[in-house]
Structure 1
């Protein structure tokens, strides 16, 4: 069955919503129906006029390799077409020949120094889509030899614009959700807690990397028949009861899990109902619970590099501050570092001064309040 070229083009427009790298193929197909020497599709930030545009497609026989960089470096800021199009209504078609006459073009810096030397002259453009944060602008270009866009050309492009608008709006939403999920994933990667999403029967929905490791190790929880259970048989009924209570009351519930392998380990478990979107996926999951599990006998504190950046500590002072926050004494730290106790005491006084603390307990509370950032190359 032969597919109508217009219908095929529309189908490719919607494919590009999920895969933005597909937009060049869309314009190649469009070029077969509307003769073009060049084209572009870019996104501009509505809140920041100084931000450079993001191009999803720029191409054509008349577009040389360095044209995009020249445009970004300077000519975007003086392009009269872009300002005119972005001031218009979404979906409104802009014909530069009707807006900028030959007298204007002959005196305009953008046309004379950039567009015409690039072998281009005529533009058919539109504010194809406008979202809360972005303007999406499309430009179809012809050189002087190919001539003006005809009424038939404009009718075809006008038919395509509603499809392009819907595709761009969908693409914008997908990218926003992806960014939301990526940000949440990075935030969860820094937490010392295992974060597990379950439904109200205990079935796993999602979890962060720390929770994945915890489930693999089977301490203090594991999966059994697709449901979250305590690893210790004696505590399974307590966890099941806590899940049921949280699901029934929609109030947070806490319990303590113990694991005796090989030494006694304690874990706090907090269950709470989710509100709105999942922090792990950005997707609304009604009737879900979050299970937060944290080891009570292992303390994660801010890295030495964080303490250096925050308070201007020296590497030796940062190591001392971390050791104190983890429960070491000045004497034990001096012994571990092979340093005189008098030197460590001097470092400690400097740490208190730089952090604005008046005693050791204040320093411990201060460091405990700092979110921990992972390091690839920690300062030792």
Structure 2
């Protein structure tokens, strides 16, 4: 039975809530699927190793398997949908003849053996050249999506498209705000899209041309060839899903400063689909300086206050034991918070944390509170 009007209005409300709170998207996708008696739904953007997706909870394991098997890049339905230029939701039989479905590889070799095979999908074009598909999948025995259910999906479509647009815009704003915050405290920073394509850079980062940055039109190129090789490799790992960044040394040029370029993954719920950015670059000259106050570390790197206090003391040269004693907590607590901090900052070793935080210049003119 198609949803009652009150239920449909409530679902639209949930869609707009997810626009502002991306953690809600999986549950909203599940509600959209249930509204047409489907097994689940997903949002995804293709792109080989850089493909990203969100799904309803009951579809997450199947979608992970689908992507891991390379099927996302060889889905004939999505290829035809994109080529058709059609707006709104379409069903399997809108793009394929019934006799063609049984020999189409994604149906015959993946969907049918797993009990799926009927559904509906739409494609949404977002800012920053993002193409996002929304697929709703039914079990094979349930049959094609009936006309009343398709009409229901198409009534939801403009709301889903607007919500996706809002999520994309907010994701960009959050990432851009981090770069702006680093500008305020005197740190060059840039945001990168897949394959090293520059999304934005603050004025301090732009001033690094021609050294240590040769240029970025539109792909970033470092002046030092070995550093460029490391940057390309680091970005490839991040695009493939690695949560770890890298610190890349850049030698001095004509009497200038040497630099360390910190490559930090842009992470967060739903950023994979809605954000064009995959990494932030932070460039710091190799000059000794004070460690940023703990309160600033909270704002810049999304640390908890406890994590920021630990990070500040460790970066300032304190041991785990001394930090635990100073903060009145156990060594195990400090180690747990330090591990969480390393993950959030995209580094893997304590030495990299010290290098990153002690190299960041500060224009605040004060030390962290005790």
TM-score, with normalisation over the residues of structure 1? 0.48
Whose helix fraction is larger, Structure 1's or Structure 2's? 2
Larger Rg: 1
Identify which of structures 1 and 2 has the higher relative contact order when contacts are C-alpha pairs closer than 8 Å and 6+ apart: 2
